Amino acid sequence: MTTAGKKERIEMLAAAVVAGDRRALAQAITLIESTRADHRDDAARLVDLLLAQAGGSFRLGISGPPGVGKSTFIERFGLHLIGQGHRVAVLAVDPSSRVSGGSILGDKTRMPELARNDAAFIRPSPAGDTLGGVARRTREALIACEAAGFDVVIVETVGVGQSETAVAELTDAFLLLLQPGSGDELQGIKRGVMELADLLVVNKTDGALRAAALQAAAEYGAALGLLRPTRPGWTPAVMTCSALTGEGIAEIRAALERYRTILGSDGTIARLRAEQNRHWLKSELADALIERLRADPRVAEAITRLEEEVGAGRRTPLSAAREILAALGLKDWPETG
Ligand code: GDP
């Protein structure tokens, strides 16, 4: 296809996404996810076009360990939002699917009612080679969803301690789902992950689990007392709900609305977005530089050898990085520090 034809095709795709065409949105995300070099160029052009229409959604990160009830919660919460006139997109990031060979998240059967609803769009983010790669594609998919008119975008990730930071960096608010259990309630959740949460929600506060859930919430609340505010004017809270019965869902929605009002009123969300965009630029630059380095045969050999040496503890990362740059002919380092 000629360059001009291609350009036109991307413009038409962007226009269809903005018009709310769901098939176009799915197609746009497929392009965004492609790792083919020519597709990357097309995707970059597409995202540039969509960016002008994006930025208007509330971006909510949701994480929690497997089995905590993420899909049940998102289905219930998403339907609640749709009932109030919102349009909800769900992007599921699953860094572990690289190992399992398929995405365990985002499977439409996990959220059957939401998947059938015209005001919802559900999409798994496939495995990538790097967490950075997954985050990059998710960020671009998020922009596409916003351009298509979804005013709430939920980014779901399985809480295994790898992807939370990346997701927290993509979103305006980060909700951590927890469940009642036996013994030390804090076990299994890394403190660093807890510190990212703007809202902690103990799910399964129902039936036989109710008392244990309330107890867990109290324990998390006590632990949280030791944490800092996540944003100016906002100290994280612990709430309880039952995704099964819907109890507590409206209260969680109200808390997120308060959070949004507080952050929106003093320009925090705008600053956050600007910060996220600068961060995005840096990570794109780093990824592109590493890609270029690996494409140079002299350097590729040095990287493979030095990765091995660094891994074995025979070289420090700093000296290895210097040798890689030297292999590229970049001998003169600017003085730092
Ligand atoms: P995910 O792996 O985090 O997505 O968890 P799922 O949403 O698939 O839920 C895991 C299991 O917990 C399922 O059997 C759900 O029916 C159950 N579950 C989810 N939410 C609740 C809840 O609020 N109360 C109770 N009792 N069970 C729940």
Write out the two tokens for 227.
Answer: 């944490």
Going residue by residue through the chain, which has 337 residues, state the pLDDT in tens, using 9 for 90 and above: 566 688 899 999 999 999 999 999 999 999 998 878 889 889 999 999 999 888 788 999 998 888 889 999 999 999 999 999 999 999 987 665 544 444 455 455 788 999 999 999 998 876 555 555 667 788 899 999 999 999 999 998 876 566 777 788 888 999 999 988 754 555 566 677 788 889 999 999 999 999 999 998 998 888 777 667 777 788 888 999 999 999 999 999 999 999 999 888 878 878 888 888 888 888 778 877 887 888 888 888 888 899 999 999 999 999 998 888 887 776 655 555 4
Residue 182 per-residue DSSP state: S
Query: For residue 88, what are the β-bridge partners?
Result: 120, 152
Tell whether ligand 1 has an atom less than 6 A from the beta carbon of residue 242. Answer: yes
Pocket mutation for ligand 1, best pick of 72, 158, 189, 201 (most atoms within 8 Å of C-beta): 72
Give the separation between CA 75 and CA 245, rounded to whole angstroms: 12
What pTM does this model have?
0.84
222 CA distance to ligand 1 centroid (A)? 25
Nearest to 177 by CA among 58, 57, 71, 59: 71
Strand order in the sheet with 237-240: 120-125, 88-93, 152-158, 58-64, 173-178, 199-202, 237-240
Backbone angles phi, psi at 153, to 5 degrees: -120, 120
Question: Which residues in 310-336 are b (16+ Cβ under 10 Å) and which e?
Answer: beeeebeeeebeebbbebeeeeeeeee
What pLDDT, on the 0 to 100 scale, is given for residue 127? 53
DSSP of 55-71: S-SEEEEEEE-TTSSHH
